[in-house]
Structure 1
Amino acid sequence: MIRSSAFANKSYAILGLARSGMATLEALHASGARILAWDTREDLREAAKDKAIIADPLEADLSDYDAVIVSPGVPLNTHPIRDKAADDGVPIIGDIELFAHARRSLPPHRVVGITGTNGKSTTTALLHHIIQSSAIPTHMGGNIGLPILSQNPLPAGGIYVLELSSYQIDLTQSLDCDISILLNISPDHLDRYDSFHAYAAAKARLFDMMSADHMAIISGSDEKSQLIIAHLREEGRIKKIADLSAAAATGQENWPSLQGPHNLQNAIVAASAAHSLGLSEQQIRAALASFRGLPHRMERIAKANGVLFVNDSKATNPASSGPALGAYPKIHWIVGGLPKSDDLKECEPYYKNIVHAYTIGDAGPRFGELLSPHMPVEPCEMMLTAVQQAAANAKPGEVVLLSPACASFDQFKDFEARGDCFRCAVKSVIDNDQIGTATGGSVS
């Protein structure tokens, strides 16, 4: 774990003891901090009792504490901790801000921060893979992988690659990234922000924390991303700004886990960052070819009877599903869940690639109405039914793609559980030889 003299003899209150909260507790305790900790789960409070005072920060006097540390999942727009901390004059921060505080005590290193609405996880994992493949010490953390404070410090010359959600940036004030990356901005998480503008402003704060001589990379062609580029150039403080919104690259056919227009953009961004870090073109292209992707993100899980099955359960909004539909020419699309919008506009440019759609979850009826004028639609409601019918209809050379364009919480605890269900359903249809068994048009 990361221990730092920056935390010694200081006092912190931790609200939330799940993954990042427990890692924070361990790092602060090992660094000699005084800690108050709380979670609604009794087992987590029990696990923390030897390292912290167990008390609810909403009921404690926090006026002599250095900070309140909350999980990114705590909704600061509605949670009473925001007013409590303000009344007691204590800042609210997250584990990424603690990492920023610890950096001076770590061996010399560089940090790449990656944010955006879609593509963060893939780009973070890809850049980490490129660096690792080039034999440079690196850790991946933030909104992906292990909490950054739980990982051992890198040796001198190491590179930390951090995926940063808007929630994490909200809780960070001093993370000076050597390279800050914004992939794109589309409406999302609007239950946590007053407006789309406020959500975009949260993303843009990553650049506000940068030193003037560090690198900004922005790849989105969307309006908000382009406005941020224009603002950075007009402000003139950051000198190195790369607009990759119109950038192109060759060789994608050699990168099996990076198919589709969105993954081409992710690859372009990761390659640009890798070049800025001093890696060669040969190192980068070899790593692009060997990258194996992330679970639940355009994950090729099986191929049987000439039909490819792809798990893109992490596509929780239409802006993420749209480019996935551009990855293959003949798709049996499983779509639906808990909708984040009433339309599928970002998917419309790719309708020509869809052979048949299969709707599931709460969004099923509405999505059926939207899609039926453009393609055959089968209302399925449940995942197993959708996979069975898609497999039965699919022909050699076609793809069964789960890319829901929705949150998972109507039927599953998270997108991982949804993707695992898809995987099990695919195994079932393969084991029972149900691929290509339809005898007519749609299966009833």
Structure 2
Amino acid sequence: MIASPAWNGRKYAVLGLARSGRATVNALLSAGAEVTAWDERSEARAPFEGRATLADPVEIDLTGFDGVVVSPGVPLNTHPIKPHADRFGVPVIGDIELFAQARGDLPPHRVVGITGTNGKSTTTALVHHILKTAGVPTTMGGNIGLPILEQEPLPEGGVYVLELSSYQIDLTFSLACEVAVLLNITPDHLDRYNGDFAAYAASKSRLFAMQTRGQNSIARFTDARSLGQFAEGSIASILEDVFKHRDIAASEQADWPSLQGPHNLENAAAAIEACDILGLTAERIREGLRTFPGLPHRMERVGEARDILYVNDSKATNTAAAAPALAAFDKIHWIVGGRAKEPGLGECEQYMGRVTAAYTIGEAGDGFAEALTPHCPVSRSGTLEKAIELASQVARPGETVLLSPACASFDQFRDFEDRGDQFRVLVHAITRSEGI
């Protein structure tokens, strides 16, 4: 567990007791803080009975509190906790801010912070894998893996690799990353920013603004030029230039089986630059790229039958995220739909020449069917099960059945993981029935 003696004797309220909230309460209590904790679910509150005060921070006097720690899932633009805390001059923060406050009490280390609309998880896991393969003490957290406060401190020389969503950055004020990475910015989660894309982009770029002189930032040239929020004296690297200067060629991507497609080339460039800054040799980095196993639900190859490849890209919850998968394969039977985040095909339209047929599902199924009809044959399948059944009947050897929905999952599934898991189960049923 990561905790700080600086929290001893201080007062905090914690709103939301899912994974990061539970870890936060435990870390604060272990450091000697006085904690008020709350979650609407009684079962989430139960483990803290007798250990913390159980009360909704929205309904109590916050005089004397040092912070209200909220889950990243709490929408600050609509939830009453922010104006309530503001009345008492109490900051609303997240667990990443607490980690930032605890850094001074940890063994000497470095932090890589990675944000962006798409590619965060893959790049975070890739940097972590390259470091681990090279023998560097490392762990990953933030928006991936275990909550960071739940993890054990790294020994001296360790590197914490953090995936950071805009929601987490909104709750963070003092995290000065030795290496900060912004992969890309495209419209997403705009409901949390009242439809204002500029506000969403500004949230992402605050990862750079928190840095100090001599720390390193990595971004695409177009984003770097438009953001203009780099800390004075920080050292900027441009993603587009990485393969020109780091003794690793873009053509080597063929040797990285879990990093195919144009988007993964960009993810790899970010990881290469970050690891070069951290002092790894090109050979060490190259070995990590070659052995990276990939992540579930991100262009995950889940099976083959009759020389037809089945790919689970359920994490693609908007058109910008789905487009790279379309760019990575040919002769695609595309399963698309769910709860749409935007109208139309967006960035996917440029790759329609790679799509042999489409199978639409979920709430957005009819809208996608209309948009796709000028480009390819379309089956209005409705459900994932029906889409896979039809696609497996139509697809021919050498073709790919791709689940890359370009939509959120909540109309028919618990989350994108549930959608991807069900796709995997259905594919395995096909491969078993064909004796593969």
Q: TM class by shorter-chain length?
A: over 0.9
The residue aligned with 2:410 is 409
Q: How many pairs were matched up? A: 429
Deviations 1:259-316 (A, max 9, x none): 1100111011101100110001111111111111111111111122211111000000
One-letter code aligned to 1:380: S
The residue aligned with 1:155 is 155
The answer on whether the counterparts of 1:113 and 1:180 sit within 8 Å (CA) in structure 2 is yes
The residue aligned with 1:65 is 65
1:192 partner SS? helix
Counterparts of residues 10-21 of structure 1 (less than 5 Å)? 10-21=10-21
Instruction: Report the more deviating stretch, 295-304 or 404-413.
Output: 295-304
The residue aligned with 1:103 is 103
The residue aligned with 1:393 is 394
CA distance in 2, matches of 1:225, 1:317: 23
CA distance in 1, matches of 2:50, 2:430: 50
The answer on whether the counterparts of 1:185 and 1:225 sit within 8 Å (CA) in structure 2 is no
Q: CA deviation at 1:63?
A: 1.0
The residue aligned with 2:269 is 268
The residue aligned with 1:440 is none
One-letter code aligned to 1:367: F
The residue aligned with 1:322 is 323
CA distance in 2, matches of 1:236, 1:269: 19
Q: Cα–Cα, structure 1 residues 202 and 290, in superposed 2: closer, same or farther, change >3 Å?
A: same
Instruction: Report the more deviating stretch, 244-253 or 300-309.
Output: 244-253
The residue aligned with 2:342 is 341
Deviations 1:348-378 (A, max 9, x none): 1111111111110011101001011011111
The residue aligned with 1:302 is 303
The residue aligned with 1:438 is none
Instruction: Report the more deviating stretch, 191-200 or 247-256.
Output: 247-256
The residue aligned with 1:439 is none
The answer on whether the counterparts of 2:211 and 2:234 sit within 8 Å (CA) in structure 1 is no
Q: CA deviation at 1:220?
A: 6.5
2:324 partner SS? helix
One-letter code aligned to 1:166: S
CA distance in 2, matches of 1:3, 1:236: 28
CA distance in 2, matches of 1:145, 1:14: 21
The residue aligned with 2:204 is 203
1:64 partner SS? coil
Question: In the alignment, is residue 190 of structure 1 matched against residue 185 of structure 2?
Answer: no
CA distance in 2, matches of 1:236, 1:72: 25
The answer on whether the counterparts of 1:216 and 1:241 sit within 8 Å (CA) in structure 2 is yes
The answer on whether the counterparts of 1:184 and 1:225 sit within 8 Å (CA) in structure 2 is no
The residue aligned with 1:378 is 379
The residue aligned with 1:56 is 56
The answer on whether the counterparts of 2:211 and 2:231 sit within 8 Å (CA) in structure 1 is no
The residue aligned with 1:133 is 133
The answer on whether the counterparts of 2:113 and 2:162 sit within 8 Å (CA) in structure 1 is yes
One-letter code aligned to 2:137: P
Q: CA deviation at 1:245?
A: 3.4
One-letter code aligned to 1:272: E
The answer on whether the counterparts of 1:302 and 1:310 sit within 8 Å (CA) in structure 2 is yes
1:175 partner SS? coil
The residue aligned with 1:421 is 422
One-letter code aligned to 1:415: F
Question: In the alignment, is residue 238 of structure 1 matched against residue 219 of structure 2?
Answer: no
One-letter code aligned to 1:179: V
CA distance in 2, matches of 1:99, 1:236: 21
Quick one: percent identity of the two aligned structures?
A: 57
The answer on whether the counterparts of 1:388 and 1:434 sit within 8 Å (CA) in structure 2 is no
The answer on whether the counterparts of 1:14 and 1:25 sit within 8 Å (CA) in structure 2 is yes
The residue aligned with 2:280 is 279
The residue aligned with 1:9 is 9
2:3 partner SS? coil
The residue aligned with 2:247 is none
Q: Cα–Cα, structure 1 residues 181 and 133, in superposed 2: closer, same or farther, change >3 Å?
A: same
Instruction: Report the more deviating stretch, 200-209 or 48-57.
Output: 48-57
The answer on whether the counterparts of 1:180 and 1:206 sit within 8 Å (CA) in structure 2 is yes
Q: Cα–Cα, structure 1 residues 330 and 138, in superposed 2: closer, same or farther, change >3 Å?
A: same
Instruction: Report the more deviating stretch, 101-110 or 393-402.
Output: 393-402
CA distance in 1, matches of 2:382, 2:403: 14
2:68 partner SS? strand
CA distance in 2, matches of 1:433, 1:220: 49
Deviations 1:83-108 (A, max 9, x none): 11011111000000000000000000
1:396 partner SS? coil
CA distance in 1, matches of 2:29, 2:144: 23
Q: CA deviation at 1:250?
A: 2.2
The answer on whether the counterparts of 1:185 and 1:220 sit within 8 Å (CA) in structure 2 is no
The residue aligned with 1:172 is 172
One-letter code aligned to 1:278: G
CA distance in 2, matches of 1:6, 1:365: 55
1:348 partner SS? helix
One-letter code aligned to 2:386: T
One-letter code aligned to 1:300: R
The residue aligned with 2:246 is none
Deviations 1:111-162 (A, max 9, x none): 0000000000000000000000001000100000000000000000000000
The answer on whether the counterparts of 1:25 and 1:51 sit within 8 Å (CA) in structure 2 is no
- Give RMSD over aligned pairs: 1.4
1:359 partner SS? strand
Deviations 1:145-195 (A, max 9, x none): 000000000000000000000000000000000000000000011110030
CA distance in 2, matches of 1:239, 1:423: 44
CA distance in 1, matches of 2:224, 2:55: 42
Instruction: Report the more deviating stretch, 177-186 or 296-305.
Output: 296-305
Q: CA deviation at 1:225?
A: 4.9
Q: Cα–Cα, structure 1 residues 413 and 288, in superposed 2: closer, same or farther, change >3 Å?
A: same
Q: Cα–Cα, structure 1 residues 45 and 236, in superposed 2: closer, same or farther, change >3 Å?
A: closer
The answer on whether the counterparts of 1:215 and 1:238 sit within 8 Å (CA) in structure 2 is no
The residue aligned with 1:258 is 259
1:121 partner SS? helix
Q: CA deviation at 1:398?
A: 1.2
* TM-score, normalised via structure 2 length: 0.96
Q: Cα–Cα, structure 1 residues 263 and 220, in superposed 2: closer, same or farther, change >3 Å?
A: farther
The answer on whether the counterparts of 2:305 and 2:434 sit within 8 Å (CA) in structure 1 is no
CA distance in 2, matches of 1:102, 1:115: 21
The answer on whether the counterparts of 2:210 and 2:231 sit within 8 Å (CA) in structure 1 is no
Q: CA deviation at 1:25?
A: 0.6
